[in-house]
Amino acid sequence: MFEKVLIANRGEVALRIHRACREMGIRTVAVHSEADANAMHVRLADEAVCIGPARSTDSYLNKSAIISAALITGADAIHPGYGFLSENADFAEMVEEHGITFIGPTADQMRLMGDKITARQAAIKAGLPVTPGSPALESVEHAIEWAHKIGYPVIVKAKDGGGGKGMKTAFNDEEMREAFTMAKAEAKASFPSDVVYMEKYLQKPRHIEMQILADKYGHVVHLGERDCSIQRKNQKLIEESPSPALNDKQRKEIGDIVRKAIEQIGYTNAGTLEFLYEDGKFYFLEMNTRLQVEHPITEAVSGIDIVREQIRIASGAELGYTQDDIKFSGHAIECRINAENPETFTPCPGKVTEWHAPGGLGVRVDSEIYSGYSIPPFYDSMIAKLIVSGKTRNATLMRLRRALEEFVIEGVPNTIPLHQEIISQAEFIDGQYNIHWLENYMKNRHK
């Protein structure tokens, strides 16, 4: 097992990884930007190294600074968390070239599954259902030709896309001209490549994703699904497991398909296969080759510590259990609490003057915030994850309501009031929602 792990991230996920390491008797190295000198992950880690100025490109995305920090401190592995360099195959390769273990899949697996076009091809080959889609689009004319083949509406996407960026829908040729140009421009500004492709646009799907774990010896398990349909701007806000839309038979069916696909692709470590689910059918969207923000709800219902498993797998350990050993119990819901205007969703960084996190049975808060902490304006606006679990979905909803009531965050506007509102809507309570529900709800309530 590793003796020292460098955590190449910040915020709550850096803390999450630190906690798993400490529980495994592993020492931790935090890296931080100049703006994060007072951050909680820096305070808790055994050692800390400043890797550059506030801007992520100069610090958390600075590959050589991070690898130098690992070499200087003698770390034998690097955990990339999510975001930043977590899906950067070149970084994973560089880490390994320096004799350090990258806690995640191999660079080749990341390249294959991180590119949405090659991932779709691999998915088709591995027997996963996908939405009808196009190859890389060369021009507006080419895009229109494919849109006619697939049939409107379609969605144009960046092959390297992420975070809901670079996606544009089109319902006719005229819209397609604009969608193609805009998606390409957004991709150029945000991602390594401006290559775009298109998929059939589903109009009322749920977003359901499957968590998998795979060791280096071909053993694969799935840890069930997460329903992440409560979204705004194509980004998740509330997630739950199990999905109110699936029964045990459907769960087993998609679970078996996913396990076989992962075995065939030869993927290792933790990963998530994202699907859209409409009218009883699954359509593969993309694979995330890293830990996900919403992983704790899976931990709550499966009893498996996903970060610990990532570290074990990377160190060469066998899973040591099979699918039949995994028993799901109860229900879990996560609310992402962001420091932002709950109406417009614009980030509102600032000083947290009062902070009181809820507690009690079945309540978990993953956050880097403490009273008096100033949220820097340079990074993501998520400041806490509230994860609540209970025996049934109803009991979990009651507990979530109670936990949100207890939560005190003063000094910065945040999404707690919005969460309280969402979870008291009849459609949410009944589990009757799709990926458009939240945006439609917000549009209509202002009428």
Decide: is 286 part of the binding site for ligand ADP (CB under 6 A): yes
CA torsion angle for 159, 165, 166, 171 (degrees, to 10)?
110
Nearer to ligand ADP, 21 or 254 (CB): 254
Q: Nearest distance from residue 245's CB to ligand ADP, in Å? A: 14
Nearer to ligand ADP, 53 or 162 (CB): 162
Nearer to ligand ADP, 116 or 312 (CB): 116
The β-bridge relationship of strands 77-79 and 101-102 is parallel
Nearer to ligand ADP, 92 or 130 (CB): 130
DSSP string, 65-133: HHHHHHHHHT-SEEE--SSTTTT-HHHHHHHHHTT-EESSS-HHHHHHHHSHHHHHHHHHHTT--B--B
Site for ligand ADP, residues 417 to 446, rule: CB under 6 A: 435
Binding mask 338-377 for ligand ADP (x = CB under 6 A): ----------------------------------------
Quote the tokens at residue 49. 């190294």
- Please identify which residue in 42, 69, 202, 270 interacts with ligand ADP, judged by CB under 6 A: 202
267 phi, psi to nearest 5 deg: -75, 145
Q: Nearest distance from residue 405's CB to ligand ADP, in Å? A: 29
Active site residue 120: no
Number of residues that bind ligand ADP (CB under 6 A): 21
- Please identify which residue in 58, 76, 274, 421 interacts with ligand ADP, judged by CB under 6 A: 274
DSSP string, 382-435: EEEEEEEEESSHHHHHHHHHHHHHH-EEESS--SHHHHHHHTTSHHHHTT---T
Stretch that binds ligand ADP, among 28-36, 139-147, 197-205, 322-330 (CB under 6 A): 197-205
Site for ligand ADP, residues 210 to 249, rule: CB under 6 A: 231, 234
- Please identify which residue in 39, 220, 285, 397 interacts with ligand ADP, judged by CB under 6 A: 285
Nearer to ligand ADP, 28 or 56 (CB): 56
Nearer to ligand ADP, 211 or 231 (CB): 231
Decide: is 316 part of the binding site for ligand ADP (CB under 6 A): no
The β-bridge relationship of strands 101-102 and 4-7 is unpaired
Decide: is 201 part of the binding site for ligand ADP (CB under 6 A): yes
Given 10, 111, 226, 290, the catalytic residue: 290
Quote the tokens at residue 343. 């109406």
Nearer to ligand ADP, 286 or 299 (CB): 286
Quote the tokens at residue 255. 């679970």
CA-closest candidate to residue 84, choices 173, 5, 11, 29:
11
Nearer to ligand ADP, 75 or 438 (CB): 438
Cα–Cα distance list, 37 to 32, 42, 48, 56, 136 (Å): 7, 7, 9, 14, 43
Residue 393 to residue 243: CA distance in whole angstroms: 10
Residue 60 to residue 45: CA distance in whole angstroms: 16
Q: Nearest distance from residue 435's CB to ligand ADP, in Å? A: 4
CA-closest candidate to residue 166, choices 132, 195, 205:
195
Nearer to ligand ADP, 93 or 278 (CB): 278
CA-closest candidate to residue 242, choices 130, 396, 129, 361:
396
Stretch that binds ligand ADP, among 46-54, 103-111, 199-207, 362-370 (CB under 6 A): 199-207
Decide: is 271 part of the binding site for ligand ADP (CB under 6 A): no
Residue 20 to residue 40: CA distance in whole angstroms: 15
Q: Nearest distance from residue 126's CB to ligand ADP, in Å? A: 18
Binding mask 117-146 for ligand ADP (x = CB under 6 A): --------------x---------------
Q: Nearest distance from residue 165's CB to ligand ADP, in Å? A: 6
> Coil, helix or strand for 260?
helix
CA-closest candidate to residue 330, choices 360, 304, 300:
300
Q: State the CB neighbour count (10 A cutoff) for residue 411.
A: 18
Q: Nearest distance from residue 202's CB to ligand ADP, in Å? A: 4
The β-bridge relationship of strands 47-52 and 27-33 is parallel
The alpha-helical segments, DSSP class H, found in 229-288 are: 248-265
Decide: is 303 part of the binding site for ligand ADP (CB under 6 A): no
Binding mask 153-192 for ligand ADP (x = CB under 6 A): --x-----xxxxx-x-------------------------
The catalytic site residues sit at 290
Q: What does the binding site for ligand ADP look like in residue numbers (CB under 6 A)?
A: 131, 155, 161-165, 167, 199-202, 205, 207, 231, 234, 274, 276, 285-286, 435
